[in-house]
Amino acid sequence: MNDPIKQAIVWQRTYFQILDRFFRSVTNTSAAKFSSIEGFPDAVRSNAHALATKMHALSNFEDELKDFYSRASGGLYDTAFNLGGNKLVLGGSSRFLNTHLKSVVVNSLYCDTILIPDPVMPWMEIDRSEERFQHVQILEAVHVLLHLRPLADADLINPTILIFPSWEKKLELGDPVTQRGMAQLIGQLVSCPTIDAVNSIPDLIDYVRNNSEEFLKSVETRSLLIAPGESEVISIKNSVKAYEDHISKYRSEAWLNEYSDFPIEFKVFNILMERYGPQYHLLENAFEFSASPLVCVKGQSYCFEKVSLLTIDENQWQQRLTPATAMALRALSSSSLQWLNNIPIESLAALKADGTISDFRLKLNAHINTFDALGDADSDRVASDFAVELRSLISNHNSQLRTLQAKYARAHGQTAFIATAGLALNFLPILGAPITATAAIAALAKYGKEKADEVAERNTLRKSLVGVLSLANN
């Protein structure tokens, strides 16, 4: 029988091959060559006509992806559940953009595996005619995901990332258990007095319709409403306006016309469902896989914190983080360590493959333990102090590079003098120099070896943990 973890790693590589084939069939190039992540919108606009003529490849891509999951999803679920170590599951949204990518990179420095719900499948599970630019958003999700491919291709014992189908949209549309869970979640958030009678979304809609003033007051009092793009709660009126400004860019005209006729209570209800529904799926995934929830977008983190305070099925939704791990993850999200976002994914994959990444976790844990012993464990202070140590290590690393450069500069100078003087005999034999042409050739060979040694030593330093950190810091 095949090792299930090894098989899951093979599945992941197959998944990325499928993504890559689709992306190349549409763009005629790789994700890296098409554009940077930040430059994706401009690249799409510049190539809009050419891309539109190739989007017929989407049909084959959808068939291939669904066929892949018909074979692989069971094994992926089992592996995601059985993997040990520090395990996170990403959530808070069905999308995967640059912020999510950076979060995966930074948290992979400390955690063993990050489970990622497939952000492509939600576009294929059900009809999404309410969304404009569906094809572009699918292409964008594939583009960002493909930047993670070095982690899937790395020779690892355990996968650093594991992408799985969560079937969120399909469950929301047709699964009574999911519908009841989401309805009870929203009902608990707004302190619905008849929460025990809420067994479906229609039940919750009836409550909102019949108790609109009470519902709106509860949303306002509990500071529940936060629009996309907002990092803090504002008034209901302003939140609804911010939400409408946001969705006007992405929703279809038919959907916007229907939404415009909603009374204010149902506009607010719609926002709550869109903002807090993904939190339900996140906590369900965390429970199913015995993993800790990871939310990396500020507004979504706010929603998650609200949900995590609920008492609904508390044993099921408890976070599975040791205090030290929770502190480490908070520290890694601190502004003083934001530069860690710059770590190249290829370098992260190499550090994972050779095991030296464990040094990072040991160093961070040591800082957390020190602050714990002093009774002063605050994530920002831990992060700030840890950043000082990392920069000290980087400074020593850069000093080593300068010493290496000086060492070989002297050696190259001596060897070059011998080689130059010896070869000059071919042109100026009258000088009668004691250095022979044979010695010059030997000196050139020596120079070549010295140069190769220098490059090897320099690469060893640069590929080390501190070398990678230095590259990110610069």
CA angle at 185 for the pair 182 and 188, rounded to the nearest 5°: 150
Structure tokens at 299: 């507004």
The DSSP line for 210-242 is HTHHHHHHHHHHTT----TT-SS---HHHHHHH
d(CA 134, CA 128): 8
Report yes or no on 300 lying in a domain.
Answer: yes
SS3 89: strand
Q: Is 96 contained in some domain?
A: yes
The answer to whether residues 184 and 127 belong to one domain is no
Clarify whether residues 134 and 263 are in a common domain: no
> Would 355 be classed as within a structural domain?
no
**Angle between the 298-308 and 264-288 helix axes, to the nearest 10 degrees?**
80
Given a contact cutoff of 8 angstroms between Cβ atoms, the answer to whether 395 and 144 are in contact is no
Strands 161-164, 292-294: pairing kind:
unpaired
Amino acid symbol at 419? A
Residue 254: both structure tokens together: 């038919």
If asked whether residues 296 and 445 sit together in one domain, one would say no
Kindly tell me if the per-residue pLDDT of 11 is higher than 70.
Answer: yes
H-run or E-run covering 113: strand 113-117
Residues 21 and 109 in one domain: yes
In a domain, 329, yes or no: no
**Across-strand partners of 294?**
90
pLDDT tens per residue, range 35-53: 999 999 999 999 999 999 9
Higher-scoring residue by pLDDT: 432, 83: 83
Give me the sheet containing 113-117, strands edge to edge: 161-164, 113-117, 87-90, 292-294
Instruction: Please check whether residue 192 lies inside any domain of the structure.
Output: yes
* Domain termination site, one of 321, 343, 367: 321
The whole-chain average pLDDT of the chain stands at: 84
Q: What is the pLDDT of residues 142-161, one digit of tens each?
A: 999 999 999 999 999 899 99
- Residue at 328 is within a domain: no
245 plus 146 within the same structural domain:
no
The pLDDT tens digits for 116-143 are 999 999 999 999 989 988 999 999 999 9
In a domain, 437, yes or no: yes
85 and 180, same domain (yes or no): no
Same domain, 192 and 301: yes
Percent of the chain exceeding pLDDT 70 equals: 82
Which is more confidently placed, 324 or 78?
78
> pLDDT exceeding 90 applies to what percent of the chain?
49
pLDDT tens per residue, range 253-267? 999 999 999 999 999
Domain that includes residue 136, residue range: 4-172
Same domain, 303 and 418: no
Question: Where does a domain end: 306, 321, 336?
Answer: 321
Same domain, 182 and 167: no
**Whether residues 64 and 139 fall in one domain:** yes
Query: Are 160 and 65 found together in one domain?
Result: yes
Rg (CA), the chain: 28
User: Is residue 38 in some structural domain?
Assistant: yes
Domain count, the chain: 3
- What distances in angstroms separate CA 257 from CA 2, 76, 114, 261, one per listed residue? 54, 41, 40, 7
Q: Are residues 75 and 155 in the same domain?
A: yes
217 touches 198 (CB < 8 A):
no
Q: Which of 450, 426, 408, 447 has its CA nearest to residue 435?
A: 426
Terminal C-alpha separation, the chain: 47
Which of 172, 199, 224 is the last residue before a domain boundary? 172
Nearest to 5 by CA among 66, 81, 87, 103: 81
C-alpha dihedral sign at 352, 355, 361, 363:
negative
In this prediction, residue 432 carries a pLDDT of 47
H or E, element range at 22:
helix 4-27
